[in-house]
């Protein structure tokens, strides 16, 4: 048994089906063909390609989770949103194919990299994106919530951890241990001259689920489910959020917010290495086994100004939303979701060279944030 | 921050908490204690904690705070509107680098927010509070502990200085700071200055005159013989421009309201309601003005009376003895209607201890961070600092509601800090010239 990675999953969309879709598109547009241009991003098995017709570009996505994404696009809660693209509805095409007008721009993560040091511009840009998303999506689709979300969040995490526990063996130094054992080991994080003892990942999960029980949201709303810089494109017509494959008509807006700030706080290190954008100093983490515990040594620190600006923006923004809808635990939940996101993303990223250690460091770091900004302050 | 589609939050009035707005009669303190007990019980019982007892409760206009024993352990507690508690937690989270007592839990009910904090024995006694200890020395209640106070303040400023430098924005930013609410939000059209003073009569019983704010704003001030170059109206207009968050500004990570009441000599900071990224200039103005005139004069004199009624006798003694310092403060005033001039004279001594504390602040906090400023920007910053001082002079307390002496003194102080700097144009020079005795 082994994990099939994203590029292998993409191969599962058969070549003949891929060509068949090209023919359908050609018939619809009158001419055209797939472009050789590479499309970056996305960690699902869906195959993504640019289709060129009459001098115009279209983004085509085929395969895993696309049917779900099409359904999200067609939901009234997601229609007429200025920052969402409108799919082109092509008759007789499978719901597993999504065709969008190609939005030519710069992803938000590229913008942040390019503006390195000009943090005022980064701050203003992200704030504006958050404000628009709040106005047009999260607050525009509020529904009173009568359910407990903690169970769902727990399942979201444990399903993935259980999957990995069945299959995965991890080599740490000279030792090989099962993933199930790894997530039961206590953790020590050495970061910026601090040595912090932490519970095991399984214990952290239990703790976070308990906190979710306490902080249940009074409202649910439409969320994109993957509101992070690589999925946000800045272009001539403002910003557009792409990839609604994890979208939800009744989700917790704290999840979208948490995802964005988790990227700004720590996940960018994983994403930049993954996407080949890593600047030389983006840092690394090294996991070792010491005295029966996982010891994680990190060799990075965030820019102190950007760190405070993002913290300022996160707290100010979540407080403003929390105040406006009397959801006073929203700032807490946004932090809980950061941890959740770091746990669930293991499945997609573990095994990639250089990422596994960073992923564990991110889980530990996001749990420390909960200890210091939720549990006690 | 404004989110379109979200109704703007009104400037929060200085409200009483609904259920806690009790009459100040009879067993006032006991009733406050019992009400706090009820709210805390509602929060804690949900988590199975039943063993708790409020041992001390105080009320301000915005909150109830005090000490509660939870399962045998003392905690500081604060109850206020949920939005206010959220705001305060926000500051603690952003400015977490400042040493502070740990907030161990927080709760939100429909009408209230509550947080529980580690109990600081030192701050609970007047010996540990910076302002209290300074005032005790100034009033010669304690004379032994000057060095202890200076050690404590020195440690606090070392902390501030190093955090200021670490997070200083060498590239200026256009950003709303957390404590802009003390500055631009008050001076902007329709803000607190307009709300307090528009159409208001300023009474000068010694002149048998009452002057509207609008007329006062047009008068030329002559302060201790010096003709001021700008009228009060012009100073306010300048402040609206200078303090606008739409300008590029230099920010520091700060506790947000660095006054003597928000720092303890043990090295800890309190009250993070405006903690976060704040304009460097505004933080300097808050500390300096409070040091110069707030902690030992205006604040004790115009302290919230509800809290005073609840004070321990020892603290009362300290505040009552303010009169000794007050006797050294003299003012006089003449109105020259024909020439549209208000001639004010006054003296305001600057106690030596306060001066020493200012020097520490200057050397540990201001000087290191000014070294990080790009060349050539200090002159503009001095202009903005003057405007920030104006807001401290007329925008913290309602000066029209003060007695005549303090109304005149406030006008003198506003002009004292507003008068152009004849020095090198640097921030340190400006401060050194202003943080001195005022002689008539």
Within this chain, do residues A98 and A216 fall inside the same structural domain, yes or no?
no
A135 contacts in chain B (CB < 8 Å): 3-6
Domains contained in chain A, number: 2
Write down the pLDDT at residue A282.
66
- Assess contact for B107 and B293: CB atoms under 8 A: no
Using the Cβ of B50 and the Cβ atoms of chain A, whether some distance falls under 8 Å is answered with no
Within this chain, do residues A299 and A346 fall inside the same structural domain, yes or no?
yes
Of A139, A155, A179, give the one whose Cα is nearest residue A294.
Answer: A179
Q: What is the pLDDT of residues B213-253, one digit of tens each?
A: 999 999 999 999 999 999 999 999 999 999 999 988 999 99
- The residue whose two tokens read 């760190």 is A307
* Number of other CB atoms surrounding residue A299 within 10 Å: 13
Percentage of chain A lying above the pLDDT 90 cut = 54
Confidence of residue B8 (pLDDT cuts 50, 70, 90): very low
Q: Which residue has the higher pLDDT, A13 or A67?
A: A67
Write down the pLDDT at residue A27.
84
Percentage of chain B lying above the pLDDT 90 cut = 65
Q: First CA to last CA across chain A, in angstroms?
A: 44
B114 contacts in chain A (CB < 8 Å): none
Instruction: Say if A307 falls within a structural domain.
Output: yes
Mean pLDDT of B185-212: 95
- Residue B323 pLDDT exceeds 90: no
Write down the pLDDT at residue B136.
81
CB contact under 8 A, A139 and B6: yes
Instruction: Say if A232 falls within a structural domain.
Output: yes
Write down the pLDDT at residue A106.
94
Beta strands A47-53 and A33-34: pairing type?
Answer: antiparallel
- Assess contact for A186 and A294: CB atoms under 8 A: yes
Write down the pLDDT at residue A44.
64
- Residue B340 pLDDT exceeds 50: yes
Least CB–CB distance from A324: residue in B3, B90, B166: B3
Write down the pLDDT at residue B16.
45
- Residue A67 pLDDT exceeds 50: yes
Write down the pLDDT at residue B50.
87
Write down the pLDDT at residue A3.
43
Within this chain, do residues A126 and A191 fall inside the same structural domain, yes or no?
yes
Min Cα–Cα distance to chain B from A259, Å: 19
Least CB–CB distance from A312: residue in B83, B105, B277: B277
- Assess contact for A309 and B253: CB atoms under 8 A: no
A131 contacts in chain B (CB < 8 Å): 1-4
Instruction: Using alpha carbons, list the distances in angstroms from residue A160 to A71, A212, B233.
Output: 24, 18, 66
Write down the pLDDT at residue B313.
46
Within this chain, do residues A73 and A112 fall inside the same structural domain, yes or no?
no
B178 contacts in chain A (CB < 8 Å): 312
What CATH number did the domain enclosing A296 receive? 3.90.1200
- Residue B23 pLDDT exceeds 60: no
Write down the pLDDT at residue A236.
93
- Residue B143 pLDDT exceeds 70: no
For helices B313-320 and B130-138, angle between their N-to-C axes, nearest 10 degrees:
50
- The residue whose two tokens read 């944030």 is A369
Using the Cβ of B8 and the Cβ atoms of chain A, whether some distance falls under 8 Å is answered with no
3-state secondary structure of A132: helix
Q: Which of A49-53, A307-311, B54-58, B392-396 has the highest mean pLDDT?
A: B392-396
- Residue A13 pLDDT exceeds 80: no
Mean pLDDT of B402-408: 93
Within this chain, do residues A117 and A60 fall inside the same structural domain, yes or no?
no
User: Residue B116: which H helix or E strand, with range?
Assistant: strand B113-118
The answer, as to whether pTM is greater than 0.90, is: no
Least CB–CB distance from A376: residue in B7, B102, B253: B102
A112-127 burial string, b = 16+ CB within 10 Å, else e?
bbeeeeebbbbbebbb
Closest chain A residue to the Cα of B163, Cα to Cα: A304
Percentage of chain A lying above the pLDDT 70 cut = 93
Confidence of residue B206 (pLDDT cuts 50, 70, 90): very high
- Assess contact for B57 and B32: CB atoms under 8 A: yes
CB contact under 8 A, B103 and A127: no
Instruction: Say if A98 falls within a structural domain.
Output: yes
Q: Which of A102-116, B14-28, B74-88, B192-206 has the lowest mean pLDDT?
A: B14-28
Within this chain, do residues A90 and A123 fall inside the same structural domain, yes or no?
no
Q: Which of B141-150, B236-245, B332-341 has the lowest mean pLDDT?
A: B141-150
- Residue B14 pLDDT exceeds 70: no
The last residue of one of the domains, among A85, A102, A119, is A102
Rounded Cα distance between B305 and A26, Å, is: 80
Rounded Cα distance between A372 and B150, Å, is: 31
φ, ψ at B158 (rounded to 5°)? -60, -45
Least CB–CB distance from B276: residue in A127, A312, A372: A312
Write down the pLDDT at residue A16.
81
CB contact under 8 A, B5 and A322: no
- Residue A372 pLDDT exceeds 90: yes
Within this chain, do residues A161 and A212 fall inside the same structural domain, yes or no?
yes
What CATH number did the domain enclosing A40 receive? 3.30.200
Q: Which of A276-280, A348-352, B18-22 has the lowest mean pLDDT?
A: B18-22
* Number of other CB atoms surrounding residue A300 within 10 Å: 15
Confidence of residue B15 (pLDDT cuts 50, 70, 90): very low
Within this chain, do residues A23 and A93 fall inside the same structural domain, yes or no?
yes
**CA triple A316-A319-A322, angle to 5 deg:** 150
3-state secondary structure of B333: strand
- The residue whose two tokens read 């006991």 is B30
Q: What is the pLDDT of residues A73-89, one digit of tens each?
A: 999 999 989 999 999 98
Instruction: Say if A309 falls within a structural domain.
Output: yes
Using the Cβ of B96 and the Cβ atoms of chain A, whether some distance falls under 8 Å is answered with yes
**E-assigned strand segments in B337-386:** 341-347
- Residue B6 pLDDT exceeds 50: no
Using the Cβ of B277 and the Cβ atoms of chain A, whether some distance falls under 8 Å is answered with yes
Mean pLDDT of A94-114: 90
- Residue B437 pLDDT exceeds 90: yes
What six digits make up the tokens of A66?
Answer: 């696309």
What six digits make up the tokens of A375?
Answer: 């549990």
The last residue of one of the domains, among A81, A102, A123, is A102
Within this chain, do residues A159 and A86 fall inside the same structural domain, yes or no?
no
Write down the pLDDT at residue A10.
52
Q: What is the pLDDT of residues A127-159, one digit of tens each?
A: 999 999 999 999 999 999 999 999 999 999 999
Q: What is the pLDDT of residues A170-212, one digit of tens each?
A: 888 888 888 899 999 999 999 888 999 999 999 999 999 999 9
Instruction: Say if A293 falls within a structural domain.
Output: yes
Alpha-helical regions (H) of B7-166:
28-45, 82-94, 121-124, 130-138, 146-166
CB contact under 8 A, B9 and A317: no
The last residue of one of the domains, among A79, A102, A125, is A102
CB-based contacts of B358: which residues, under 8 Å, 6+ apart?
B288, B291, B292, B431, B435
Of A290, A286, A309, give the one whose Cα is nearest residue A359.
Answer: A286
Instruction: Using alpha carbons, list the distances in angstroms from residue A373 to A118, A153, A332, A344.
Output: 27, 20, 8, 21
- Assess contact for B179 and B295: CB atoms under 8 A: no
- Assess contact for B127 and B241: CB atoms under 8 A: no
Q: Which of A89-103, A162-176, B24-38, B272-286 has the lowest mean pLDDT?
A: B24-38
Instruction: Say if A111 falls within a structural domain.
Output: yes
- Residue A279 pLDDT exceeds 80: no
- Assess contact for A170 and A182: CB atoms under 8 A: yes
B133-152 burial string, b = 16+ CB within 10 Å, else e?
bbbbbbbeebeeeeeebbeb
pLDDT averaged over every residue in chain B: 87
How many A/B residue pairs have CB atoms within 8 Å? 104
Beta strands A106-107 and A187-191: pairing type?
Answer: unpaired
Write down the pLDDT at residue B13.
34
Q: What is the pLDDT of residues B62-90, one digit of tens each?
A: 889 899 999 999 999 999 999 999 999 99
Within this chain, do residues A127 and A41 fall inside the same structural domain, yes or no?
no
B7 contacts in chain A (CB < 8 Å): 324
Residue A351, phi-psi category: left (phi > 0), alpha (psi -120 to 50), beta (remainder): left
Instruction: Say if A363 falls within a structural domain.
Output: yes
Confidence of residue A278 (pLDDT cuts 50, 70, 90): confident
User: Residue B194: which H helix or E strand, with range?
Assistant: helix B192-197
What six digits make up the tokens of B260?
Answer: 């003597």
Of B249, B290, B247, give the one whose Cα is nearest residue B271.
Answer: B290
CB-based contacts of A311: which residues, under 8 Å, 6+ apart?
B93, B94
Rounded Cα distance between B203 and B219, Å, is: 15
Q: Give the residue numbers spanning the domain of A55.
A: 6-102
Rounded Cα distance between A61 and B350, Å, is: 73
Instruction: Say if A276 falls within a structural domain.
Output: yes
Within this chain, do residues A297 and A154 fall inside the same structural domain, yes or no?
yes
Within this chain, do residues A77 and A150 fall inside the same structural domain, yes or no?
no
Q: Which of A354-363, B62-71, B283-292, B405-414 has the lowest mean pLDDT?
A: A354-363
Q: Which residue has the higher pLDDT, B151 or A19?
A: B151
Q: What is the pLDDT of residues B85-135, one digit of tens each?
A: 999 999 999 999 999 999 999 999 988 999 999 998 777 666 667 888 888
């Amino acid at each position: 048994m082994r994990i099939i990675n994203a590029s292998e999953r993409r191969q599962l969309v058969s070549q003949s089906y891929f060509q068949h879709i090209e023919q359908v598109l050609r018939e619809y547009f009158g001419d055209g063909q797939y472009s050789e241009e590479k499309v970056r991003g996305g960690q699902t098995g869906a195959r993504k390609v640019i289709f060129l017709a009459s001098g115009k570009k279209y983004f085509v996505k085929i395969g895993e989770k696309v049917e779900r994404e099409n359904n999200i696009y067609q939901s009234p809660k997601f229609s007429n949103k200025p920052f969402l693209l409108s799919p082109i509805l092509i008759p007789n095409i499978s719901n597993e194919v999504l065709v969008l007008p190609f939005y030519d721009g710069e992803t938000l993560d590229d913008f942040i990299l390019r503006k390195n040091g000009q943090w005022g511009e980064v701050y203003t840009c992200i704030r504006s994106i958050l404000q628009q998303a709040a106005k047009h999506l999260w607050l525009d689709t509020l529904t009173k919530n009568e359910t407990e979300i903690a169970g769902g969040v727990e399942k979201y995490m444990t399903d993935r951890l259980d999957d990995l526990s069945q299959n995965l063996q991890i080599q740490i130094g000279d030792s090989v241990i099962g993933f199930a054992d790894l997530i039961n080991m206590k953790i020590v994080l050495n970061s910026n001259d601090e040595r912090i003892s932490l519970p095991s990942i399984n214990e952290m999960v239990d703790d976070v689920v308990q906190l979710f029980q306490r902080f249940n949201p009074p409202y649910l709303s439409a969320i994109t489910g993957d509101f992070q810089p690589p999925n946000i494109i800045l272009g001539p017509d403002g910003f557009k959020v792409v990839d609604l494959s994890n979208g939800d008509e009744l989700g917790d807006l704290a999840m979208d917010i948490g995802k964005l700030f988790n990227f700004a706080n720590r996940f960018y290190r994983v994403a930049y290495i993954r996407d080949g954008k890593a600047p030389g100093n983006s840092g690394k983490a090294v996991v070792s086994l010491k005295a029966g515990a996982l010891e994680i040594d990190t060799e990075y620190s965030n820019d102190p100004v950007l760190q405070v600006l993002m913290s300022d923006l996160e707290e100010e923004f979540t407080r403003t939303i929390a105040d406006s809808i009397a959801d006073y635990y929203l700032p807490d939940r946004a932090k809980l979701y950061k941890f959740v996101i770091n746990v669930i993303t293991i499945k997609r990223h573990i095994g990639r060279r250089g990422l596994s250690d960073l992923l564990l460091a991110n889980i530990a770091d996001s749990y420390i944030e909960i200890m210091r900004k939720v549990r006690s302050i | 921050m404004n989110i379109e589609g979200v109704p703007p939050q009104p400037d929060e009035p200085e409200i009483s908490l609904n259920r806690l707005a009790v009459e100040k009669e009879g067993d006032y303190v006991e009733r406050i204690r019992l009400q706090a007990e009820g709210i805390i019980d509602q929060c804690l019982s949900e988590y199975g904690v039943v063993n708790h007892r409020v041992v001390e409760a105080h009320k301000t206009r915005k909150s109830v705070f005090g000490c509660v024993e939870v399962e045998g352990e003392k905690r500081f507690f604060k109850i206020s509107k949920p939005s206010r508690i959220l705001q305060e937690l926000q500051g603690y989270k952003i400015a977490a680098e400042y040493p502070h007592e740990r907030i161990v839990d927080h709760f939100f009910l429909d009408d209230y927010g509550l947080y529980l904090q580690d109990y600081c024995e030192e701050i609970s006694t007047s010996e540990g509070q910076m302002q209290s200890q300074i005032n005790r020395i100034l009033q010669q209640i304690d004379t032994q502990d000057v060095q202890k106070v200076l050690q404590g303040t020195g440690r606090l400023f070392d902390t501030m200085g190093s955090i200021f430098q670490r997070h200083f924005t060498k590239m200026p930013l256009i950003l709303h700071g957390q404590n802009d609410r003390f500055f631009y939000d008050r001076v902007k059209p329709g803000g607190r200055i307009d709300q307090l003073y528009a159409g208001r009569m300023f009474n000068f019983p010694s002149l048998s005159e009452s002057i509207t704010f609008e007329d006062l704003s047009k008068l030329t001030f002559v302060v201790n013989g010096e003709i001021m170059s700008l009228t009060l109206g012009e100073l306010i207009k300048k402040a609206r421009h200078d303090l606008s968050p739409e300008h590029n500004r230099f920010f520091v990570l700060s506790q947000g309201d660095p006054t003597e009441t928000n720092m303890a000599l043990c090295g800890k900071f309190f009250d993070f309601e405006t903690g976060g990224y704040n304009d460097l200039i505004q933080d300097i103005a808050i500390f300096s003005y409070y040091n110069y005139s707030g902690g030992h004069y205006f604040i004790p004199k115009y302290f919230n009376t509800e809290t005073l009624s609840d004070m321990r006798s020892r603290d009362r003694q300290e505040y009552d003895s303010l009169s000794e310092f007050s006797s050294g403060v003299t003012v006089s005033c003449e109105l020259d209607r024909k020439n549209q001039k208000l001639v004010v004279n006054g003296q305001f001594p600057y106690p030596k201890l306060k001066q020493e504390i200012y020097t520490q602040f200057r050397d540990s906090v201001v000087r290191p961070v000014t070294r990080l400023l790009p060349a050539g920007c200090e002159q503009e910053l001095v202009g903005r600092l003057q405007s920030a001082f104006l807001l401290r002079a007329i925008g913290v307390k309602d000066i029209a509601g003060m007695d005549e002496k303090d109304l005149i003194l406030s006008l003198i102080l506003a002009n004292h800090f507003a008068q152009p700097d004849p020095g090198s144009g640097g921030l340190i020079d400006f401060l050194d010239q202003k943080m001195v005795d005022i002689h008539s």
